[in-house]
A = this chain, B = another copy of it.
Amino acid sequence: MMTLFGYWRSSASYRVRIALALKGIDVNHVTVNLRDGLQKDAEHLLRNPQGFVPVLVIEDGTQLTQSMAILDYLDRKFPNPALLPEDPIFRSKLLAASLVIATDIHPIQNLSVLKYIRAEHGQDDGGVKNWAQHWISNGFTALEKTAQQYETPFLMTEVPSLFECCLIPQVYNARRFDVDMDQFPKLSAIDAACQEHSSFIAALPEHQADAP
């Protein structure tokens, strides 16, 4: 059985949990407590020199890092149901929407960046909140325009895809930073549809064994 080193509140871990649930794959879950900084421990740095979660350890012992690369592995190895379609254009469009979150929102309001702007730029809780809200709203504004072009219950599709694996953890994060989701009605509707879906419910941070 594969082992997922993750953390209940980590967005990137949450993405992988959704994909595993969608594909019906059981894994061992091992927590790496980000609150206690255990991701920077020597033991975890051997798993991932970046000191990030998630890390997926597959049956042969290979340690896979970077959530989007883990999702690519899962989609190749366990293709049903697919996270991305086969058609190169459709696939690229769904991937691009996913990458708005995975490259242009999530890393900029990641824990290590928030720590840096507190320590080096003297930002307080308000400054940190402004920062997170700015980048989340920026990305969501662009995604909302894209989403408005489609009538489907999920982005461009009838079933959840890689995009929803990225969106739902980011919306969870947006709520933590008091982003007004009413600005993004279509993204909110996709989020609401996912909240009723068993795979997304199973992957919820509060439903994990390491949640307080």
Does the CB pair B89–A58 fall under 8 Å?
Answer: yes
Does the CB pair B108–A66 fall under 8 Å?
Answer: no
Instruction: Tell whether A104 pairs with B73 under 8 Å between CB atoms, given A95-B66, A99-B68, A121-B123.
Output: no
Per-residue interface assignment for chain A, residues 107 to 129, with 1 indicating a CB less than 8 Å from any chain B CB and 0 otherwise: 11010110011001111000100
Instruction: Tell whether A70 pairs with B58 under 8 Å between CB atoms, given A50-B104, A142-B49, A145-B49.
Output: no
Per-residue interface assignment for chain A, residues 62 to 103, with 1 indicating a CB less than 8 Å from any chain B CB and 0 otherwise: 101110111011001100000000001101110110011011
CB-defined contacts of A65 to chain B, threshold 8 Å: 96
How far does the Cβ of A62 sit from chain B's closest Cβ, in whole Å?
6
Closest B residue to A48 using CB positions: B142
How far does the Cβ of A117 sit from chain B's closest Cβ, in whole Å?
7
Residue from the list B73, B88, B103, B139 in contact with A102, Cβ < 8 A: B103
Q: Indicate if A208 sits at the interface (CB-CB under 8 A).
A: no
CB-defined contacts of A113 to chain B, threshold 8 Å: 108
Does the CB pair B103–A107 fall under 8 Å?
Answer: yes
Q: Indicate if A134 sits at the interface (CB-CB under 8 A).
A: yes
Does the CB pair B104–A104 fall under 8 Å?
Answer: no
Does the CB pair A92–B108 fall under 8 Å?
Answer: no
Does the CB pair A50–B91 fall under 8 Å?
Answer: no
Task: Provide the bound-state CA to CA distance between A131 and B121, in Å.
Answer: 10
CB-defined contacts of A137 to chain B, threshold 8 Å: none
Q: Indicate if A130 sits at the interface (CB-CB under 8 A).
A: yes
Q: Indicate if A146 sits at the interface (CB-CB under 8 A).
A: yes
Does the CB pair B77–A64 fall under 8 Å?
Answer: no
Does the CB pair A103–B62 fall under 8 Å?
Answer: no
- List 16 A-B pairs, Cβ < 8 Å: A48-B142, A49-B142, A50-B139, A62-B93, A64-B93, A68-B99, A70-B92, A70-B96, A72-B88, A72-B92, A76-B91, A102-B103, A117-B117, A117-B121, A120-B131, A121-B122
